Chain A
């Protein structure tokens, strides 16, 4: 992977979010809702912890990440710019990873608000740092997994709305499948629970970093990117 080419794609992708009202709307709404939740949680619990707020933010991303990722490839197909990327000396991995990191950079900007909460919490009480780190890690990995799935959905359809619906559908299934697992029981139940995202984020928000969960979320990210590359590959023939 060539750093210059990769960075060019990341940068273009990132700035594209600020070229449409949608980007600003998402940012504004996210800061507003996040801030409101934070205030609500802190004023109720009076606890110096960020786990609740991260849980809520992750839940918000379940709904909003499809809106952020839907354009990633669909728009290129629609505008005909896919042709430029595909006929430039870029590998499909450079294209896919570049776009992914571009979207993740936007996510970083969205998450800048949490630093304010962090400062507030740190000044409020004297929380353990490790749980905070675990909270952050879980939040980042989970949302980044959402994004990878969204990117994959975007490679499937030229229509952004369709891409958003597909990624929301997949995310929702991965979310609620654990509930189905609870009631199913047995081996199937265990399997469903394992596949569910929820069962892999809870520990992070309890302040525990379990490598098996890290592995699960990283695999989800890798699969999202891998299948995106495969879909683009198949489009050539």
Chain B
């Protein structure tokens, strides 16, 4: 449904996005994850035709964003970073206005506005001025606007920004319920958003894709890499060497010395219980003292930070 190939946007010397390629099959929810300035918004602005790419190609619903922008616009609903609302309008007159410019058939307009108001729980607010609404409600009006013409493709830039925890859950549920026939891209810095809402995830950093996978795979990869935190009393050098020799140990990283001759290590293993036993046996055999042996949980958070801070890759 969405195809992106070598998409690049440069501002002077800065590449806001640099040869990004990905595709989103119909009915999928893709999460674009990345730190500030990663290029999420830039990517979305290109896909929604508000910005022209410097080079590369992007098609939405089969239409090229550069050569057939008008067609693309008919197929997308877009929630920009800042909800595009007019403070001086009432919620309902705003949605009617958007329905007009988005070509919702006149005969279906009233119905559709009603549906969307209900979907976002805005019914009670329909006559209020948008400028008088709280941040979260304004965000919902922004979402309502993106849905009004029932588009095939939804592009949502940080859709849960400014919402309270209860609303966040509701909006995530709504987004999930909207998939099916629709294709959705959402951007976020928040990992739980990706794991709870998305099918696929792309992690971007400094304009480049650093990881792309299904959420399921990524979580599995994370769970698979079992890392243990060990504290052992003894010579750090000897311990390090001995631990590395154990089958099932991939790497040993000394984390420095604690008090009373106790050293800490981060040991990457195959994750099996046998390896843990071997580690314990090794300590006993060498007559060291084991102070601690505990698994370190690797969350999406860690991967995210790891991938988006320079030195390491997954």
| A residues in contact (CB < 8 Å) with B | 4-5, 7-9, 11-12, 15-16, 19-20, 79-91, 236-237
A4-B107 Cα distance, complex, nearest whole Å:
13
B88 close to A88 (CB less than 8 A): no
Residues of B within 8 A of A80 (CB): 80-84
Question: CB < 8 Å: which of A81, A82, A85, A89 contacts B70?
Answer: A89
Residue B102, interface by CB 8 Å: yes
Question: CB < 8 Å: which of B50, B74, B81 contacts A89?
Answer: B74
Nearest chain B residue, comparing its CB with the CB of A95: B101
Closest 5 interchain pairs by CB?
Answer: A19-B88, A84-B84, A8-B100, A80-B82, A83-B80
A85 close to B52 (CB less than 8 A): no
Residue B6, interface by CB 8 Å: no
A8-B50 Cα distance, complex, nearest whole Å:
20
Residues of B within 8 A of A19 (CB): 88-89
B169-211 interface code vs A (CB 8 A; 1 in, 0 out): 0000000000000000000000000000000000000000000
9 contacts between A and B (CB under 8 A): A8-B101, A79-B87, A81-B86, A82-B84, A83-B80, A84-B80, A87-B76, A88-B101, A236-B51
A9-B97 Cα distance, complex, nearest whole Å:
8
Residues of B within 8 A of A79 (CB): 82, 84-87
A7-B96 Cα distance, complex, nearest whole Å:
12
Residues 58-107 of B at the A interface (beta carbon under 8 Å): 70, 73-74, 76, 78, 80-89, 97-98, 100-103, 106
Number of A-B contacts (CB under 8 A): 74
Residues 95-145 of B at the A interface (beta carbon under 8 Å): 97-98, 100-103, 106, 145
A9 close to B86 (CB less than 8 A): no
Nearest chain A residue, comparing its CB with the CB of B77: A87
A83-B98 Cα distance, complex, nearest whole Å:
12
A78-B31 Cα distance, complex, nearest whole Å:
28
A9-B74 Cα distance, complex, nearest whole Å:
18
Residues of B within 8 A of A86 (CB): 49-50
A58-B76 Cα distance, complex, nearest whole Å:
45
Listed residue (B48, B86, B87, B145) with the most chain A CB atoms within 10 angstroms of its CB: B86
Nearest chain B residue, comparing its CB with the CB of A11: B97
A82-B102 Cα distance, complex, nearest whole Å:
14
- A84 touching B98 in the complex, CB below 8 Å, given contacts A4-B106, A19-B88: yes
Residues of A within 8 A of B83 (CB): 80
| B residues in contact (CB < 8 Å) with A | 45, 48-52, 70, 73-74, 76, 78, 80-89, 97-98, 100-103, 106, 145
A87 close to B50 (CB less than 8 A): yes
A5 close to B100 (CB less than 8 A): yes
Listed residue (A11, A12, A20, A89) with the most chain B CB atoms within 10 angstroms of its CB: A89
Listed residue (A80, A87, A237) with the most chain B CB atoms within 10 angstroms of its CB: A87
Question: CB < 8 Å: which of A9, A82, A236 contacts B101?
Answer: A9
A5 close to B101 (CB less than 8 A): yes
Nearest chain B residue, comparing its CB with the CB of A4: B100
Closest CB of chain B to A235's CB: distance in Å? 9
A84 close to B49 (CB less than 8 A): no
A4-B98 Cα distance, complex, nearest whole Å:
12
Question: CB < 8 Å: which of B78, B86, B89 contacts A83?
Answer: B78
A75-B87 Cα distance, complex, nearest whole Å:
11
A95-B98 Cα distance, complex, nearest whole Å:
13
Closest CB of chain B to A129's CB: distance in Å? 40
Closest CB of chain A to B22's CB: distance in Å? 20
Residues of A within 8 A of B89 (CB): 12, 15, 19
Residues of B within 8 A of A15 (CB): 88-89
B86 close to A88 (CB less than 8 A): no
Question: CB < 8 Å: which of B50, B86, B98, B102 contacts A236?
Answer: B50
Residues of B within 8 A of A88 (CB): 73, 98, 101-102
Residues of B within 8 A of A20 (CB): 88
Closest CB of chain B to A111's CB: distance in Å? 23
Listed residue (A12, A88, A90) with the most chain B CB atoms within 10 angstroms of its CB: A88
A7-B101 Cα distance, complex, nearest whole Å:
9
Residues of A within 8 A of B78 (CB): 83-84, 87
Nearest chain B residue, comparing its CB with the CB of A89: B73
Residues of A within 8 A of B97 (CB): 8, 11-12
Closest CB of chain A to B77's CB: distance in Å? 9
Question: CB < 8 Å: which of A81, A82, A89, A237 contacts B103?
Answer: A89
A81-B145 Cα distance, complex, nearest whole Å:
11
Closest CB of chain A to B43's CB: distance in Å? 14
A128-B261 Cα distance, complex, nearest whole Å:
110
Closest CB of chain A to B91's CB: distance in Å? 14
B86 close to A237 (CB less than 8 A): no
A156-B234 Cα distance, complex, nearest whole Å:
71
A237 close to B52 (CB less than 8 A): yes
A89 close to B85 (CB less than 8 A): no
A89 close to B101 (CB less than 8 A): yes
